[in-house]
Structures are given as structure tokens and as C-alpha cells.
Amino acid sequence: MQTIKIIKKMRAFSNKLRSEGRTIGFVPTMGALHEGHLSLVRRSKSENDVTVVSIFINPTQFGPEEDFEQYPRNMESDLGKLSGLSTDAVFIPDDTEMYPEGPAVSVHTGHIGEILCGASRPGHFDGVATVVARLFNAVMPNRTYFGQKDYQQTVVIKKMVREQGLDAEIIVCPIIREPDGLAISSRNAYLNTGERKAAAVLHKALKHGEDLMKKGADDPSQVIKEMEKVIGSEPLAEPEYVEIVSPEDLSSMIKISIPACLCLAVKIGTTRLIDNVIVQKNAG
Amino acid sequence: MQTIKIIKKMRAFSNKLRSEGRTIGFVPTMGALHEGHLSLVRRSKSENDVTVVSIFINPTQFGPEEDFEQYPRNMESDLGKLSGLSTDAVFIPDDTEMYPEGPAVSVHTGHIGEILCGASRPGHFDGVATVVARLFNAVMPNRTYFGQKDYQQTVVIKKMVREQGLDAEIIVCPIIREPDGLAISSRNAYLNTGERKAAAVLHKALKHGEDLMKKGADDPSQVIKEMEKVIGSEPLAEPEYVEIVSPEDLSSMIKISIPACLCLAVKIGTTRLIDNVIVQKNAG
């Protein structure tokens, strides 16, 4: 497994592969790798000649009050996991490599980055889009793999790729869950035992909303109210938002139409968790 | 000369050339081509296997009160001039091709786009950076040619290219001037006879500043005051800014050091004109 720290070397690596007609699959991560990330790496390996994983905890997508400092860092363990999957290359730039002049030139995502998670995390999706654009320029992937757990992120990035005319395919992979339904996330490590148990309420609420829709419920505010009741039953849980939106563009619905994305952000103690379910036609 | 209107076709054209190892020179324009543009095309032709010129009047770089509607449009004459220079391809996307979803995802240039011209044209450089990023993704040039007249633009774009890690060389070409020193610009067409004569004052002021510096003047506010006096001697001229900045990053100077960029924006009647001179070591 090659370890690359410099953008120029990363691009030379990719340029060589591209000139040989070999395809590059790319999995951008912030490290603290878990089964969700590893599922993306496996998928990339099955679909591309070469797989590159980046590990970079991007400062520009954290707000000043957020958890940049305490975000889990386990580089050695991460490299072991990637090596175990026979990942071809790991790209590990540092802050001065990614932001040589500070984060002055940035990508601005507009409305789609200001709703849902963007409402409580101003600037977050601009930071995500900025770093992903820079990573794309370094890695020049044919296909890039993201987890559905950060669903809004996948919509923002697809929009950026479409609008900026970037030559990259975005592939969204299913959420990996714990046995009780909790979506696997690096931030689950923040939970104590009681909170960890309570965190199952996110998926429970989503499943309840999905069930109601499958039974024909078509009033979004009614379904949202029912999902909020489920969250309200858990004393450690404080909902930030519960929404039903179009999976395509995250627009809200006056009347529920399928496919629909049920999504939510909930604080469990001091830890903010997100999750979503996409209800498809003929699903279940 | 090939005419290409669709991003996908533009990229296919460039991909083929790149896979053949041929180099692409690119001259982005808003049409209304004059000797300044043509000098860029000639330079590109001398340095690359293939030269692509784009013509796109970018709506996102015009403010609501600015001259987007009246900006000169002479497509037939432009194509004639480019064909006369044996340009290989002209890329002429329309608004829906360049902004399929409106200008939602944009590039934000920060401080460097908010000073000098950016102070009176809020959002202008964000619009420039956004369209140039999109054009780069479509044309995938090895080298891109800009005129020095829009000096701040060249600094902003170089910064974007560096920071975003884009694989493109930016080449800044000398200002082409009329016999009386007026920098050639599409907007000179707005001037009536009296204004056209008055417009020579921009270059006159710059030359005066340069002369003072060559004689050893090192107090920027003093030199600026002298340049403003020259502009003040022309009744039709109304200065917007006169500045002496570092050519590298446009930072202002407490004491003049060489190289220095003398730059100004002046209204002649209702027409806003810009010009600059870069004073080099041992110049003159």
C-alpha cells in the first residue's frame, strides 16, 4: 500500500494510471475508519482497477463550536484496516498541503447547503465542497464513493459535480447499521453506555415514519409529528430536525410522494447524530 | 475552425487531444474581440498544438446595475477574426449549458476578490472564478492566457488554480494600447469622441506614477496623490480608486518596494475603465 502526502505526487500517481487506461476508485474519509468506510473501499475495489483512500480531517467543515479538536484520530489503526483490504494507495495530506494559503478560495453551495444539517452547521457544506473539489483535483478519480448516512452531503457533491462539469461519477453506498439499527458513525464513539442505548431511537423513528408511509400516510407534517413522538419517548434524545424531502434535490413536500427521504438530526446528550431512510417505490 | 456548444463535446474534443499527447492552449473571452484578445490567441498558437477560444458573456460576473444587457455582442465578426487567425476551436456555450441549475454552486474568492475592483463590484470575482472553473473543467487546457489589463482577475485566478490544485498554467500577456496609451478594452466602445480623448488620462496618470517611482519616490500615498492630480486635471474623469500594491498578492504597501503594481479604476462619463502598470526592477 502506497502512502502519499503531497498533491503533486498524488496527481502523478493518478496521471500515470489514467494514461495506462486504468480506472481509479476514490473513497474520501476523515479517518476513524469503521465498517461503513470499509464497505466503500470494498465496493470501490470491486469496480475499479485501483482504489485510493484519503484520510484528512478537514478543518473548514467544522464550525468554531464543533468537535474538530476531539474528532477521533487513529492513523495507525486506520492504515492497518486499509492495508488489510489491500487498498492500493492512501492519500494523507496535511493542512498546509490542502490549504497552502488558508481556506481563502472556497466553494459556495448556496441554498442546498443551508437547509437541514446546514441550518445548524453554517458553512459546513461549503467546507465539504471545498475540500472535495481539492481532493478531486489531486486524485482525479473515475468513481468516488460516499456513504448514504451523510445524505445531504451526497446531494451537495452531486450538484457540485454536475454544475462544475467535473468528470467524476458519484456512487452512494448503503448505510451500515449496528444490530439495534444505529447507523455506524465515527461520532458514536462519543456516546456513553446509556446514550449508546438511547441512540437506537433515531432509526426507530425513521422505521416508524417509513411504516406509516407504506400504510398510505401522505401528510408529511403528520408523519413528522409521529416520528417526533418516538424521539420524544427517549429522555436522552433532543431532536434538531425531522424532515421528509425529495431525495433528488432535498426540497420539502406538501404531500408525500415516493421516492422520499426521511431524515433527521438528534442530539443524544451532547453528541449530534444524523440518520436517514429513503423510501422507494415497491420497497419492502 | 470547429464550433462547439456543448460541454460534453468540448471535453471529448480535449480528452482526445490529451490522450494523443497534444497540448491545449485556451483563451477565455466574453467576445467583442479586439487586438488584446487576438494577441492572446497568437501567443497561445505559438506555444500549444491546439488553441481553443471560448466566447461566453458570463452573467454571474455582472452586478445588477452593471452593463450585462448592453455589453457588446458581435458573434459573426468575432468568429471571422478567430477564423482569420486559424483558431482550432471555438467554445460557445449558452447560459443553460454553463449554469444548468442556476448559479447555485459558486466559487468564493474571499478577501482578494473584495479589494480594488471588488470593492465597487461585489460578487464580480466570485462570478469570474466560478465561470473560469467551469470552463477549465470543460476545456481542460494545459495553458490559459489572460490579458494583464484585468490584473486583479489574473491574481484571483492564479490563486484559485494554486489553492484548488488545478493542473493548468496561467499565462498573463501584456496590455495592448492605442497610440495615446489607452488600454484596448471592449468597453471603450461606450465612449463618445470627447470621452475617448479624456480616457487617455488613465495611462497618463500611471506613467506619471511610474516616473516618480523611478526617480525614487517611495511613499505610496504621495505617489497616489500625484496620480490623482493628473486624473483631476481631466474634467470628464472621476477616479474610483488609485492604488499601489504588491503584484504577487495585491497587498498594499507602507513603503513602495519594487516590483509594484500601479492600478486604477476611473469613470469617464458613465463608462468605468481600468488600467495598470507593473513597475519592475531595472525597468526603463
Domain containing A127 — which CATH number? Answer: 3.40.50.620
Q: A165 and B137: CB-CB below 8 Å?
A: yes
Distance from CA of B281 to the nearest CA of A (A): 26
Is pLDDT above 80 for A282?
no
Number of domains in chain B: 2
B13/B132 same-domain check: yes
| DSSP β-bridge partners for residue A275 | A264
Residue A217 is assigned to a structural domain of this protein = yes
What is the average pLDDT score of chain B?
95
Cβ neighbours for A93, distance < 8 A, ≥ 6 positions apart: A5, A6, A7, A10, A54, A56, A138
DSSP string for B156-191: HHHHHHHHTT---EEEEEPPPB-TTSPBP-GGGGG-
Residue that terminates a domain, selected from A152, A173, A194: A173
8 Å CB contact between B104 and A111: yes
DSSP string for chain B: -EEE--HHHHHHHHHHHHHTT--EEEEEE-S---HHHHHHHHHHHHH-SEEEEEE---GGGS-TTSSTTTS---HHHHHHHHHHTT-SEEE---HHHH-BTBS-SEEE-GGGGTSTHHHHSTTHHHHHHHHHHHHHHHH--SEEEEETTSHHHHHHHHHHHHHTT---EEEEEPPPB-TTSPBP-GGGGG--HHHHHHTTHHHHHHHHHHHHHHTT---HHHHHHHHHHHHHTSTTEEEEEEEEE-TTT--B-SS--SSEEEEEEEEETTEEEEEEEEEPTT--
Domain containing A228 — which CATH number? Answer: 3.30.1300.10
Nearest by Cα to B7 from B77, B95, B76: B95
Lowest mean pLDDT among A12-21, B3-12, B51-60, B115-124: A12-21
B120/B202 same-domain check: no
Residue of B nearest to A103 (CA): B163
Residue of A nearest to B7 (CA): A165
B164 neighbourhood in chain A, CB within 8 Å: 105, 133-134, 137
DSSP string for A135-157: HHHHH--SEEEEETTSHHHHHHH
In this structure, the strands spanning B24-29 and B143-147 are parallel
B78/B169 same-domain check: yes
Using one digit for the tens of pLDDT, what is the confidence trace for B145-181?
A: 999 999 999 999 999 999 888 888 999 999 999 999 9
Q: In the prediction, which pLDDT does B103 show? A: 64
Residue A284 is assigned to a structural domain of this protein = no
B96 neighbourhood in chain A, CB within 8 Å: none
A143/A207 same-domain check: no
Active site residue A37: yes
A105 neighbourhood in chain B, CB within 8 Å: 107-110, 129, 159-160, 163-164
The pTM for the full model equals 0.89
Is pLDDT above 90 for A101?
no
> How far apart are the C-alpha atoms of B241 and B265, rounded to whole Å?
5
Using one digit for the tens of pLDDT, what is the confidence trace for A125-169?
A: 999 999 999 999 999 999 999 999 999 999 999 999 998 888 889
Angle, in degrees to the nearest 10, between helices A220-232 and A201-214: 150
Angle, in degrees to the nearest 10, between helices A151-164 and B124-139: 80
Is pLDDT above 50 for B230?
yes
Best of A6, A18, A60, A105 to disrupt the B interface (most B CBs within 10 Å) is A105
Q: In the prediction, which pLDDT does A283 show? A: 45
Q: A137 and B104: CB-CB below 8 Å?
A: no
Residue of A nearest to B133 (CA): A164
Question: Which of B34, B37, B124, B203 is flagged as catalytic?
Answer: B37
Residue B178 is assigned to a structural domain of this protein = no
Residue that terminates a domain, selected from A133, A150, A173: A173
Three cell numbers written together for A74: 487513529
Q: In the prediction, which pLDDT does A119 show? A: 96
Q: A110 and B129: CB-CB below 8 Å?
A: no
Residue of A nearest to B139 (CA): A165
Q: A107 and B110: CB-CB below 8 Å?
A: no
Using one digit for the tens of pLDDT, what is the confidence trace for B72-105?
A: 999 999 999 999 999 999 999 999 999 988 767 9
Q: B104 and A126: CB-CB below 8 Å?
A: no
Q: Please report which confidence band the pLDDT of residue B130 belongs to, taking 50, 70 and 90 as the band edges.
A: very high
Distance from CA of A195 to the nearest CA of B (A): 37
> How far apart are the C-alpha atoms of B147 and B183, rounded to whole Å?
11
Vertex B102: Cα angle to B149 and A26 (nearest 5)? 90
> How far apart are the C-alpha atoms of A208 and A217, rounded to whole Å?
11
* Contact residues of B toward A, CB < 8 A: 7, 11, 99-101, 104-112, 126, 129, 133-134, 137-138, 159-160, 162-167
Nearest by Cα to A203 from A247, A149, A246: A149
In this structure, the strands spanning B260-268 and B237-245 are antiparallel
Nearest-by-Cβ selection for B105 from A101, A137, A163? A163
Residue B75 is assigned to a structural domain of this protein = yes
Is pLDDT above 90 for B133?
yes
Is pLDDT above 60 for B283?
no
8 Å CB contact between A263 and A224: no
Residue B97 is assigned to a structural domain of this protein = yes
> How far apart are the C-alpha atoms of A9 and B89, rounded to whole Å?
32
8 Å CB contact between B278 and B148: yes
Using one digit for the tens of pLDDT, what is the confidence trace for B248-277?
A: 999 999 999 999 999 999 999 999 999 999
Q: Of all residues in chain A, what percent carry a pLDDT higher than 70?
A: 99
> How far apart are the C-alpha atoms of A205 and B99, rounded to whole Å?
38
Domain extent at residue A152 = 2-173
Residue of B nearest to A12 (CA): B167
Residue that terminates a domain, selected from A149, A173, A197: A173
Q: In the prediction, which pLDDT does B284 show? A: 44
**Across chain A, how many H-helices and E-strands are there?**
10, 10
A166/A77 same-domain check: yes
B119/B257 same-domain check: no
Nearest by Cα to B93 from B2, B6, B3, B1: B6
A133 neighbourhood in chain B, CB within 8 Å: 164
Q: In the prediction, which pLDDT does A103 show? A: 64
Q: In the prediction, which pLDDT does A207 show? A: 98
B76/B108 same-domain check: yes
Q: In the prediction, which pLDDT does B109 show? A: 94
A138/A252 same-domain check: no
* Contact residues of A toward B, CB < 8 A: 7, 11, 99-101, 104-112, 126, 129, 133-134, 137-138, 159-160, 162-167
Q: A129 and B160: CB-CB below 8 Å?
A: no
Is pLDDT above 80 for A252?
yes
| DSSP β-bridge partners for residue A29 | A55
Nearest-by-Cβ selection for B104 from A110, A133, A167? A110
B26/B93 same-domain check: yes
What sign does the CA torsion over A225, A226, A228, A233 have? positive
Q: A105 and B110: CB-CB below 8 Å?
A: yes
Q: B109 and A110: CB-CB below 8 Å?
A: no
Residue A180 is assigned to a structural domain of this protein = no
A150/A43 same-domain check: yes
Three cell numbers written together for B129: 472564478
A152 neighbourhood in chain B, CB within 8 Å: none
Q: In the prediction, which pLDDT does B102 show? A: 73
Residue A193 is assigned to a structural domain of this protein = yes
Q: In the prediction, which pLDDT does B166 show? A: 85
8 Å CB contact between A53 and A1: no
What sign does the CA torsion over B141, A8, B166, A55 have? positive
A100/A223 same-domain check: no
Question: Which of A34, A37, A124, A203 is flagged as catalytic?
Answer: A37
- The complex scores an ipTM of 0.80
Average pLDDT over residues A180-204: 97
| DSSP β-bridge partners for residue B115 | none
Q: In the prediction, which pLDDT does A202 show? A: 98
Residue A12 is assigned to a structural domain of this protein = yes
B17/B99 same-domain check: yes
Residue of A nearest to B111 (CA): A104
